[in-house]
Copies of this chain bind each other. A is one copy, B any other.
Amino acid sequence: MDILHILEDYCSKNELDLIKFNAQEVVYSEGEKAKGVYFLKEGQVKVFKYDRERKPIFLWTARPGEPIGLVSFFQNTSLYCCTVKANHTEPSLYFLPNKVFLDLLNQHPELKLKLLKRLCEGISFMEMRSKYFLFNSIDERIIETLIFLANREGEKKLNLRFEFSMKDFTEMVGASLGYIRKRVKNLKNKELIDYGRNWLVINDLEKLKLARNNF
């Protein structure tokens, strides 16, 4: 069973309701008391921190099935260490108070291995970011972010579709919306990708990888 099925099962048995959020609504804020762990059922949320000037620093985007607030839970800090906010979607999440989450782990020990896998995905994303963000150009960051997102999807190489707006993507890459728009249009003109208001498709991952060197 995948993470979402385990959650659905457990939450219906224990009468835990889904919580719905509006687009751009805050799920919780950095520094707030960490009362439990969320699991994303539908939609997407973005996870970020604020710097001292209250400028948001994007960390990652969660997709259905992903736990939110896990790091705060395992760190035994009593405060959430990030801010979580809906992107352009209207996400719904399960909320498990700390004690309930511990009970879930006891009832479903197989979940631990799945969570380990998810966390490793997160680490891998951040390692990629460290690698490309500290020293590389924005063009390289655009391509590497797309390739990373594609690799998360497994073996699929053609017509990889992602549900995010250009603003969400801009935050992932860490650049200005205007510049990203220009460069992404260039990739579209080369027929490497396609995109609309809230989606982006990688037409052919292998061709995109080849474009890395002359973008």
Please tell me if the beta carbons of B116 and A74 are within 8 angstroms of each other in the complex.
yes
Query: Interface on A for B, CB 8 Å cutoff?
Result: 49, 51-52, 55, 57, 59, 70-71, 73-75, 81-82, 105, 109, 112-113, 115-117, 119-124, 126-127, 129-131, 133-136, 174
Query: What is the bound-complex CA distance between A127 and B122, given in angstroms?
Result: 10
Which of B51, B112, B133, B174 is in CB contact (< 8 Å) with A116?
B112
Residues in B with CB closer than 8 Å to A105 are 113
Apart from A49-B131, A57-B135, A75-B117, list 18 A-B contacts with CB within 8 A.
A49-B130, A51-B136, A52-B136, A59-B127, A70-B116, A71-B120, A71-B124, A71-B127, A74-B116, A74-B120, A116-B116, A119-B119, A123-B126, A126-B126, A126-B127, A130-B130, A130-B133, A134-B174
Please tell me if the beta carbons of B119 and A75 are within 8 angstroms of each other in the complex.
no
Please tell me if the beta carbons of A120 and B119 are within 8 angstroms of each other in the complex.
yes
Distance to closest chain B CB from A180 (angstroms): 16
How many monomers of this protein are in the complex?
A: 2
Which of B113, B120, B133, B136 is in CB contact (< 8 Å) with A75?
B120
Please tell me if the beta carbons of A81 and B129 are within 8 angstroms of each other in the complex.
no
Residues in B with CB closer than 8 Å to A119 are 116, 119-120, 123
**Known contacts A105-B113, A113-B112, A135-B55; is A126 also within 8 Å of B120 by CB?**
no
Please tell me if the beta carbons of B75 and A135 are within 8 angstroms of each other in the complex.
no
- Which single residue of chain B is at the shortest CB-CB distance from A71? B120
Residues in B with CB closer than 8 Å to A121 are 74-75
- Which single residue of chain B is at the shortest CB-CB distance from A117? B74
Residues in B with CB closer than 8 Å to A131 are 49, 51, 57
